[in-house]
Structure 1
């Protein structure tokens, strides 16, 4: 592969990560308006969002089958068109039909497409890591974060200029589909990197499925799952409860709650931007251990801090600490190119279930013991994640994430 082909490939995957983040923030920014248009209460809205979450998990779960059947290019293109369409259908359901059912259909399309593309873009990202010999997945995940920030910002702009939900979501859906076609055109057609020749078209459907399911029989999948579980639970928990923790737990006003979440997000994104070189220097396992300690200190500080500035320091450490759990778990799952799709899919499924199911569970428990006390559950999970970190050690023959410090 020439240098320019490699750069085009890498840029294409950056764009796909960005589009995935963009799609989430686009409809999430308009949830209050969508809720008004279709006239549902919080409980009904929660169920609709849960349907989208379940569709995401389904997409993640079947993604490796899609990859084996259609290859990365066609698989990613199809999934991106699907989630772009989903964003548009959410807008149509809200403003044209004012129908909770149509909006839910949009959420299902979006969830399934985005879940499926999530695994495929991570498998491609891992193939790029193999090609370059450097840890790049954290930076790809930073682009996903940029996408969510950009989507939220454009949402604020759309509301400010009085754009309706339909116009806003349709324009963004069209943009996502354009990004899909342009990006996929720059992904090299080396499907054998993702599905090696011996597992290619010659195998029947059943054999391909058995390769896909084989990852669930490997102990390492579950050990990586523990890393992802703790980190994803703590990341999802922050997204849903951090702002409320600042307001209800520490008696601050709502604007400071939003600021606390912003501190968390910025901290997480910054570490994702610069985390790759650190991993290459010190290795995946050492980095995960240090970050588990960082997240633990951050969470304890957030829960116990006597003053608001310390709460914000806690939020920053919490964000930094959980930032690389997901990308490094994905990277470790993809160490063996022959089994990358199946393993990334299995590990991501565990992470996703934690990310989506965790926050509502925390909410239920917090009704009984209070929100700040509930966050101790995250502390325990992060500690478990740190203990499981040796599972992320690169397998024999893989150099990405091994670290160079021992060589000097």
Structure 2
């Protein structure tokens, strides 16, 4: 009987039960992580072609972040007029094409200025993708009546793992890295050509806009400013572990060079796993408790990392940071979509921009503080910020419904 039941199980029937807009949203998050992983794999090739040292190339890389910060607020305006579907229909293939340019131009024309322009444009269109997919995901969750955002965000991490793994596999098989990245970038554009058709055409479009009017840029205020600050802190935490985690384990905890990268790897695994189960967690204990307990646990984990006697217990603390912070940003985005103080498209672009600003500027601020005091003290400052998030969430009703 069990064998016959298994034989009758049809994956096509299961897939038909998933709304096409849900599949398209998952594909958008997957492709965003996938494209960023392809760029990461191109970094050594581009640096070598330009012949820059680490400091000069680091300045070149900043152009990606600046491009994203410039267009994220503008993306909210465009989405409010035309909807996320139209913006993503243009942004995904253009970003994919710019990755191809970033791969080919340095070899054919080793001009630093040209690469800066290309990467600025790539960051700009990737910023539009980030805002568009997040706005669409909030609308999809709201219309479904279920918690879906954490699962959507988990697909970004999976896309990153898939992109990095596939590039490694292809290069191990003897295929050129630049050619592989170009082919996979174009494949991403083709995939989105089909998957993007299922996006909701009105997602993110302001009710009062007919596609030609609607509100212009509005500086975030009230609850949107608070939610943007939460995103800033959470992205700052992620960026600090990415940029400073290995150095902390080496200099403060005595980790060997070959083990120093385990901190961010463990943090990323924990965040991905928790996001896969995050929607169930949120439905079980509620979004407010998820934020309060998660931020408090992450704050405690930073203290534990600083006080830990060796690198292994500090890395375990990073795992707890990943578990605690994993679902806070999806909940903050959901709350941003539910607030009524600003049009949803503008509010989401503001929260996303502030979060991205935290990812870019936060690690630099941690570095300045570490220079003035120590890296351990800098990490303790993040514990204070996370404790503030937990306290604010406990004392307000912002996350009650999200």
TM-score (norm 2): 0.90
The aligned runs of 1:353-392 (5 Å cut-off) are 353-389=357-393
CA separation of 1:162 and 1:97: change in aligned 2, threshold 3 A: farther
Aligned to 1:224: 227
**Post-superposition offset of 1:136:** 0.9
Aligned to 1:92: 104
**Post-superposition offset of 1:378:** 1.4
The answer as to 2:30 corresponding to 1:18 is yes
Q: Of 365, 384, 393, which residue of structure 1 is paired with 2:398?
A: 393
The answer as to 2:115 corresponding to 1:103 is yes
In 2, the alpha carbon distance for the partners of 1:238 and 1:149 equals 18
In 2, the alpha carbon distance for the partners of 1:217 and 1:115 equals 18
CA contact (8 A) 1:95 1:166 kept: no
In 1, the alpha carbon distance for the partners of 2:121 and 2:57 equals 17
The aligned runs of 1:4-403 (5 Å cut-off) are 4=16, 7-189=19-201, 191=202, 193-201=203-211, 204=213, 207-209=214-216, 212-213=217-218, 216-336=219-339, 339-389=343-393, 393=398, 401=402
Structure 1 runs not aligned, ≥5 long: 402-408
Deviation track 1:174-232 (CA, whole Å, cap 9, x = no partner) reads 0221122112111133x1x532443223x63xx431xx41xx35310121122212211
CA separation of 1:46 and 1:392: change in aligned 2, threshold 3 A: farther
CA contact (8 A) 2:80 2:346 kept: no
What is the DSSP-based 3-state SS (H/G/I as helix, E as strand, rest coil) of the residue aligned with 1:194? coil
Alignment size in residue pairs: 386
Aligned to 2:10: none
Deviation track 1:79-134 (CA, whole Å, cap 9, x = no partner) reads 11221122111101232223322322231122111111111111111111111111
CA contact (8 A) 2:241 2:263 kept: no
Aligned to 1:406: none
Compute the RMSD of aligned alpha carbons. 2.1
The range that moved more, 373-382 or 230-239, is: 373-382
Give the 4+ runs in structure 1 shifted more than 4 A: 3-6
TM-score (norm 1): 0.89
